[in-house]
A and B are shown apart, each in its own frame.
Chain A
Amino acid sequence: MSVGWYWAVGGLRRAVALGAFLALAAFILGPLLTLLLWAFAGSWLFPNLLPEFSLKWWAYVLGNADVTKAIRMSFLSAPAATLLSAVICIPAAYAFARLEFPGRRVLLLSFLSANAFPKIGLYVSIATLLYRLNLMDTFAGVVLIQVINTLLFMIWIPTGTFRGINRNLEEAARDVGAGPLRTFFQVTLPIALPGLLVALLFAFLAAFDEAQGTLIVGTPNHITMPVMMYTLVLSYPQPVGAVFSVLLSLPSLVFLLVAQRYLRAGYLAAGYSL
């Protein structure tokens, strides 16, 4: 199983690869490392290579009522949006992958439009709609805005996953007398689970990350963590933003660890390649 010759391991080639690797590692990890250092800095004066360490900004951030409120709002709204999105999108994804119906291809592509129109132009119109429905500055309004951002992931990745499952397995189950629902829950779903988890994960991150629309729809009483982050970045001392960033990255970090196994298995790539 080797086309390794294409990237043969000569000494020079290996040195170049290592150099490029270090440069890329510095580029990707450097900003995150700087942020992490700032989060534990009491003060950091130029040109010291390391800051004076202190936890005082953690006390400051966690003691702030607005911050804890934003954290609660984020951890309520993003899971709600992800679940709602999963419930309506996964059956649709199954239909896109397995059933023949008129307009299937066009409808599948139409979900791309969720990412093609500049969001800010949409939010203006959506805000008008939500205003009429009395959903401005409500939890439901914030969840709806977040769901929009999850649609593409929740349709496309599960569609790719279901399409990758061998049809013969399902047909074999049907042959031995299992009904369509039983076949789905006992055969299809367990095989599809890793791909669906990756979709859930990306949907959650997309919902959790949403700031622009939530800012418009949720102000002033339904502020999430990323919305708050704009204020913190622009008008607070550097360590405050850094501490908050670390808090805001925790869910992603957990997901990165959980998902690593599946990412390597290529489910993500399967989803992206449609």
Chain B
Amino acid sequence: MTGSRREGALGLALVLPPLLLLVFLIVLPAITAVLDTLAPPPGASGLTLARYAQVLSARIVRADIAFSVVVTLVSVAAVFCLSYPLALYLRFAEGRLPAVLAVLFTIPLFVPVVIASFAMITFLVNHGLISTVLYHLGIQRFPPLVYNATGIVLTEVWASIPFAVLILGAGLQAIDDALIDSARDVGAGRLRTFVSILLPLNATPTMIALTLLFISIFGSFTIPYLVGGNAPQMLGVTMTNYLTQYFRRAEAVTMAVIAFAISAAVGAVYVVSVSRRERGTV
């Protein structure tokens, strides 16, 4: 009895330092930011949504929100479609090719995003390596690949593949070989095994991967800032411009809260699936 109470006290004491940092550097600033956006004009009292109405009344901001959501969804879908087969391949294939691939796909994890963006520009830009190679193949006319949504999606996909493959792969790894073998024993084909064994058993890691991908891509700044075009732009760039170029702090923070609300709605899915799993393992 006293033992478990002592354990509880020790646990809380050990957790306290990073928790204080989290509270002072993230939770409190976030709450302050939200309260600032709800504060009434000087002299009045109560809370007001006027700033949100004002920010959302700007057509450019609405266009940027829509653009951010679409670019994020397309990127997440593309990452998913590339990563799932790759994770399956790494889980089941044997030989030298998968061993090389296991190293290859982690490379973007080690490249700072600033560099990844710059590398993508040199690769995709008009007169860059891609267009040089295409020129030598006799292709001279193709749509621009960078400084637009295409560039953002390609770079986000490039940067996110390792993360997605690692999470999906860890989930597939946890599925018992015996289960997969017995599926075959009762006559299930590859597709059937995938649809009725692998996909459902890997559902939680898949949800985790999808939501975390959404949150990180939706909130990204560096990639759209360097690889994207002028307008429409992603919300991360718009709010930074409002803050550092136009010195309109209130609007910038309001946009941050709107972006957070969208991420939080998606993140709720994540929290539900993780806590369900946490309960399962404890």
Contact = CB atoms under 8 A, between A and B. Distances in A.
Interface string A1-20: 11111110100000001101
Contacts of B205: 273
Contacts of B61: none
Interface string B147-179: 000000000001001010011011101100100
B239 interface: yes
Contacts of B239: 118, 120-121
A48 B36 CA distance: 55
Nearest to B163: A272
Interface in A21-65: 21, 24-25, 27-35, 37-38, 46-49
Contacts of A263: 103, 106
A144 B18 CA distance: 12
B93 A17 contact: yes
A88 B264 CA distance: 27
A240 B265 CA distance: 42
Interface string B82-118: 1001101100111101001111111110111111111
Nearest to A50: B132
A121 B122 CA distance: 31
B158 A117 contact: no
Contacts of B100: 21
A118 B277 contact: no
A101 B11 contact: yes
Contacts of A95: 10-12, 14-15
Interface stretch (A169-177, A185-193, A242-250): A242-250
A148 interface: yes
B145 to A, nearest CB: 11
Contacts of A102: 8, 12
A194 interface: no
A266 B173 contact: yes
A105 B19 contact: no
B144 interface: no
B86 A24 contact: yes
How many chain A residues sit at the interface, stated as a range, is 35 or more
* A interface, over-half SS: helix
B167 to A, nearest CB: 5
Interface string B250-274: 0011011101100110010011001
A256 interface: yes
Given A212-B222, A268-B166, A27 B158 contact: yes
* B interface, over-half SS: helix
Given A30-B123, A105-B278, A126 B25 contact: yes
A31 B185 CA distance: 45
A76 interface: no
Interface in B2-20: 4, 7-12, 14-19
A183 to B, nearest CB: 14
B254 to A, nearest CB: 9
A35 B267 contact: no
B30 to A, nearest CB: 5
A229 interface: yes
Contacts of B141: none
14 contacts: A30-B129, A46-B132, A48-B132, A102-B8, A110-B22, A114-B22, A118-B236, A124-B256, A128-B29, A129-B28, A151-B18, A155-B18, A234-B226, A269-B169
Given A91-B17, A121-B252, A245-B114, 10 more contacts: A21-B97, A24-B104, A47-B132, A95-B14, A95-B15, A100-B4, A105-B282, A110-B19, A117-B263, A212-B240
A-B interface, 3 closest residue pairs, ranked by CB to CB distance from nearest: A121-B256, A101-B11, A125-B29
